[in-house]
Amino acid sequence: MNMIKPILQIGDPILSLETKKVADFKSPELKQLVADLIDTADSKRAITAGLAAPQIGSQMSVCICRRVDLEKDTTAQLSKEALWEVVINPEIVKQSKSTSIFWEACMSVGVGKNALFGPVERPNTVTVKYQDRDGKLRSISARGFFAHELQHEIDHLSGILFLKYISNPKNIWKRDAIDKYYDEFETYPPIE
């Protein structure tokens, strides 16, 4: 049975722990976790680009990432299964020296108008080696926002939240404030 799970919030100790690698790809626990991650993320499709197992209380090395790269390339609506890439036991095997900055948020860092946003600098391109839900080895290369998204979710599996990368608290904005700024200026605030 699939379920929409509550999202753990910053301060919960599970969010700061390293996850454990998945070894049994036939386990009912893994199948249930993947279904729960997809259902939970899909229920918040308007505000999320991914979800990691620790965010719903699991210590398995599993996350899902929204295929924003495919959404841009198709006029057809992606199915729930095609929209969310299941990434198990991921490892970043290549990353560019060039970086980019995107404003990130996280469902585990505030809710609704109190959700926090901030500018995060990361490698602009990455290649990630991982296993799919059947245990098959796969590789994916990403650039720009999709690369940031993959790195953000993989960070969760190491107990890292995006706020770690923001040294100046003046660059952390609440959702209602950032939305108001963006509506007025059609850009994000300058980084201090």
* Identified catalytic residue from 85, 104, 149, 153: 153
CB 64 within 8 A of CB 84: yes
Catalytic-residue membership of 184: no
d(CA 2, CA 46): 20
Strand order of the sheet with strand 84-95? 50-52, 62-66, 84-95, 125-131, 137-143
Radius of gyration of the chain (CA): 16
Contacts for 126 with CB less than 8 Å, ≥ 6 apart: 92, 94, 95, 96, 141, 142, 147, 150, 151
Q: How far is CA 93 from CA 114, 132, 187, in A?
A: 35, 16, 33
Active site residues: 153
